[in-house]
Chains A and B, each alone.
Chain A
Amino acid sequence: MINKIDKTRKSFDEEISKVDSSASLEELRIKYLSRKGLVSQLFESLKDVSKEDKPKVGQALNQLKIHTQSKFDEMKETFEKSENKSESFVDLSIPGRARPIGSKHILTQTLDEIKNIFKGLGFSVYEGPELESDYNNFEALNFAPDHPARDMQDTFFVTEDFLLRTHTSPVQVRLMTEKKPPLRAIMPGKVFRNEAISAKSYCLFHQVEGLYVDTDVTFAELKGTLVAFAKQFYGQDVQYRFRASFFPFTEPSAEMDVWWQPKGKEGRWLEVLGCGMVDPNVLKNVGIDPEKYVGYAFGMGVERTAMLKYGIGDIRILFDNDKRFLTQF
């Protein structure tokens, strides 16, 4: 019996030294270590061994089992390691399974930027309708009927009394009519101008209106607030200027220009927003006492701002929605 055990051990050792793949190792396992393998068979025949020999043979058998098993495990591990290596060549250059993400329209993104700056300065955000009454769009804002000031804003009329708003200022009127001061809000939205479509103008564009009404609002604060905006939006080193202008709903009125310096070209002043102190007539029209309250208002075009910022030369491309354009932003 001991001989048999030795013989098995030798043949196992011999065979395992010849094993060259996990497949041949598996064959070896089945031959020796499986339920009906040679080692098990030897254990089977233990019952035929005489009582006095049993401990010795049993011990030898156990050693054989440990020997074969550990040799096998060792070999298996070696194979796993090496084979894993060849299996695990991961070609990291293969493109990943991307999940496309869309984007907001560049005008919305620009508007977001503007909104975030003003929200940080304590402004609310209000919206209003695009199809407005002549009263809200003009009359309440101190545009006298038959005044040439109306020519400043070519208007699409739907009837004599209803029109596509030419600016976001009617939202001011709505806000001041509905709520009591203090009021500090910006009012973004679409506005319309009855102009021929060209590289420079489109029949609609987006505007952001700003309004602040309280008892201690000043022109100096209007300037400070808009400069703070310009610095955040255009950069801390932005050059700016305020010059007198005219809007029927503000007085004094101003326009703010920033210095625009395209690379390799002549720089110039570009108008970026109109502003001023809310005209007392406007406050009167919405039932706010113009002696007690003072307000400022401003308005800027989003298209113009975005075109400047991103170097877009033709306004129409903003409304063409070409995928090759959309995916750039």
Chain B
Amino acid sequence: MKISLNWLNDYISLKDISLEEILDKLTYAGLEVEEVEDQAKNYENIVVGFVVEAKKHPNADKLSLCKVSDGKEEFNVVCGAPNVATGQKVVFAKVGSIIPNGKSKIEKAKIRGEVSFGMICSERELNISDNQEGIMVLNPSLKEGTSIADALEMNDVILEIAITPNRADALSHIGIARDLSALFNLPLKYPEIKLNESGKKSNELASVEIVDVENCPRYIGKVVTNVTIKESPDWLKKKIKSIGSRPINNVVDITNFILHEVGQPLHAFDLDKLDGKKIIVRSAGNDTKFTTLDSKERNLQSKDLMICDAKRAVAIAGVMGGENSEVTESTKNILIESAFFNPSSIRKTAKNLGLLTDASYRFERGTDPNITLWAAQRAAQLIQETAGGEISFGEIDAYPKTITKRSTKLRFSRLDQVLGYHIESLEVENILLSLGFEITGNSKNELMVNIPSYRHDVEREIDLIEEVARIYGYNKIPEVSKISVTLEEKVDHSAFDDKVRVFLNSLGFYEIITNSLLSEETANCFGKSIKVMNPQSSEMSHLRPSLLPGMLTTISNNLKVNEKDLQLFEIGKVFEQLSEAKINSFSDFKEIEQLLMITTGNFIRTEWFEKDRPFDIYDMKGLVSSFLTNLLPGVTIADKYSDNDFQFFDYAFKIVADEKNLGICGKLKKEISSLFDINQDVFLFQTNLNELKQISIPKKTFKDLLKFPKVYRDCAFVLDSNIRSDQVAEVIKENGSNLLHNVKLFDIFQSESLGSGKKSLAFQLEYYDPARTLTEEEIEKIFSKTVKSVEQKFNAQLRGA
């Protein structure tokens, strides 16, 4: 919201306070000043100049050569305007100034052989008007050397203030002045109403009927007759412009002025266009279309509150007037509307229409029902001052539902308790009084406080505490230097994930974070996704059912910048709709925390010790195994190989612990990766962290160190190449007796020399007994039995035998 400092001075005298201080106090008090426009800065080095002499330029017919004084010095200035003459007071832009229109910098220049030190400006060059026919000739009483900003009163400072949604009362100059009056302890003065009423009474000229009392508790109408609609006077145009609006005509500008003065939106109807000279406030009902004064046809909803005449709607209440009743050049008689509408009704209507106006913005936040009368009278007075005419006697004040005064109490002890700091009771009272609260009773312990009708945000004791603290100044409340730590059990929900991250980092994986929103097409490829009702774009319309699409997009984007070797993971929530029907409860969908790890590209880029080698499934399998065994120490983890047709994998296996799923590891299908323009193998591991967190980790106990030597035996078998290594290892274990503790596959060999369809698997077997040293004979006996059983089971041959 734009606030003019000059305008504020109409209600509070800020002359003795520095701009800096004003900005600070407002910001500290919750009226955050976001931007400051110091108009005078636009006119730096532009001053009132006196034309000491103006004569023809010796080398140019249309130019004049002038001597311009700034009161101290005389400057040679070349001027092209026909109206320049000796003795004029003019706008003199000195060397170094920047012309407001066009932002060009004035420099010393040679024009047709004559040096010019500056420029004499037109109105257009100052952005005052479009007039560029000749220079601007100033009032001769202005003193040369005075800055133009001061001379022409273009020295306003415009503040852009961010008003939080609770502070409807601050949405006007008087509203801001009220806080300033409390902050600086200065008096606030409302403009005085002086009405010159004549002729008939307002209620003889028009009538008001409120049908929807709930949504329109108060409607005031005041009639002004015989007005002349014309351009606004300069003071009014200047005010309207200063807050960034465009002047329209005197009556409209006055209503706009009062909105920004006191925050009460007004509307002026052309009384002669109101059928039956009657206002009816009712809901739209069967009306479905309405043309607002911006000539746009709006679609109404039956509950929208409308202002109607005897026959038809003439305005959308609190939002925008209608084309059919607006004030035009030919308007003679007007009805001023000054009403209080139910904020939530206005908000719904404005939202439905997608129409945010200065009026709706204020009504939906809550205006002051008690300022309506003052605003109507002030409008009538100012309209008469600017548009002539007669103000009819009195007002039509339809106020069917009196808004009662609200009050609450403030206990000093509670104030101290919440703030942790004591503010003197006298100071507390002063703050509340200066904000317009009434103290209706005070004791040693508490105050009884009446709440002004413009403070919709204040209701309870805590609201008063905030008001006191806010004006007193948060920065004056000292912060404690020590705290007590409560001894309830401390919990860290994020500890498990943090552990996951650390293990994965140590295995070379980088963490990524991707968007949780996907396009419908992508999302549906990966699961039963949930739709967002109001997405920003179709690219982000569905919640991700899997981390995979985000990961693949990441890989794809990295490939585009030639980053091909990637080891990445993401931890994040994925969402899945469970029921076909709409989501009505938390049981209609699942929110799962997923972990996805991928490897792609080369594991090793050529090094002096090793050649290029792409990642393969065994890299991933090993990384996953290292990860899981460290994350879940002591848990027996097993792989499950089956020929299941995995949706996204060329091949994959499941990892389990006691039938509990720990995840799936495999190679991504080419069809999937090519959807993302990925033309290299992607290996991945995906798991549900919610389930992983449930795996119970056995308590660690110390195992005695082995006191007797281990014995190793190696054996290699030639067997059919479609036999899985774990099947062989299993048979070895089954037949290895309880002295066999470990079977390690240490070589795989495939060659024509072994015969087609054959391979060689070499195992190392580890034997020991924790209680004694083993003898050669017993090992030999067990070993040869084991070898035989493998030979028999798989029709295998021991190599080298």
Contacts and interface: CB of A to CB of B under 8 A. Distances in A.
Interface stretch (B9-17, B98-106, B466-474): B466-474
Contacts of A131: 530, 543, 573, 575, 589, 591
B775 interface: no
Contact of B491 (A125, A225, A252, A319): A125
Given A190-B573, A192-B516, A220-B478, A104 B505 contact: yes
A209 interface: no
A161 B589 CA distance: 13
Contacts of B558: 321-323
Given A129-B591, A243-B30, A319-B515, A95 B561 contact: no
A159 interface: yes
Contact of A102 (B420, B509, B583): B509
A149 B557 CA distance: 39
A125 B494 contact: yes
Contacts of B348: 146
Nearest to A223: B479
Given A319-B515, A326-B510, A164 B532 contact: yes
A197 interface: yes
A159 B531 CA distance: 9
A214 interface: yes
Interface residues of B, number: 91
A320 B515 CA distance: 9
A51 interface: no
Given A122-B490, A251-B462, A324 B469 contact: no
Nearest to B489: A124
Contact of A244 (B28, B347, B481, B540): B28
A277 to B, nearest CB: 6
Given A219-B421, A243-B28, A130 B516 contact: yes
A246 B531 CA distance: 32
Interface string A256-294: 000000000000000000000101100000000000001
Contacts of B534: 155-157, 194
Contact of B582 (A159, A164, A219, A242): A159
B657 interface: no
Contacts of A92: none
A147 interface: yes
Given A253-B466, A294-B418, A162 B512 contact: no
B801 interface: no
Interface in A118-159: 119, 121-127, 129-131, 133, 145-149, 151-152, 155-159
B517 A252 contact: no
B113 to A, nearest CB: 43
B513 A318 contact: yes
A186 to B, nearest CB: 10
Given A131-B575, A158-B533, A220-B419, A251 B463 contact: yes
A173 to B, nearest CB: 14
B557 A321 contact: yes
Interface residues of A, number: 86
Nearest to B608: A94
A62 to B, nearest CB: 41
Where chain A touches its partner, the secondary structure class is mixed
A242 B493 contact: no
Given A95-B608, A321-B568, A197 B466 contact: no
Contact of B561 (A97, A124, A223, A324): A324
B112 to A, nearest CB: 42
A31 interface: no
Contacts of A251: 462-463, 465-466
B563 interface: yes
B119 to A, nearest CB: 31
Contact of B532 (A104, A156, A253): A156
18 contacts: A97-B609, A102-B505, A103-B505, A119-B492, A121-B485, A123-B490, A130-B575, A146-B344, A148-B365, A184-B486, A188-B494, A195-B536, A220-B421, A224-B482, A244-B474, A251-B466, A277-B418, A326-B512
Given A159-B533, A190-B516, A219-B419, A214 B561 contact: no
Contacts of B607: 95, 97
B27 A243 contact: yes
A237 B420 CA distance: 25
Contacts of B198: none
Given A105-B512, A196-B536, A323-B563, 6 more contacts: A133-B586, A149-B165, A158-B533, A218-B419, A220-B477, A294-B418
A126 to B, nearest CB: 5
B156 interface: no
A245 B510 contact: no
A108 interface: yes
Contacts of A152: 165
A217 to B, nearest CB: 8
A223 B485 CA distance: 16
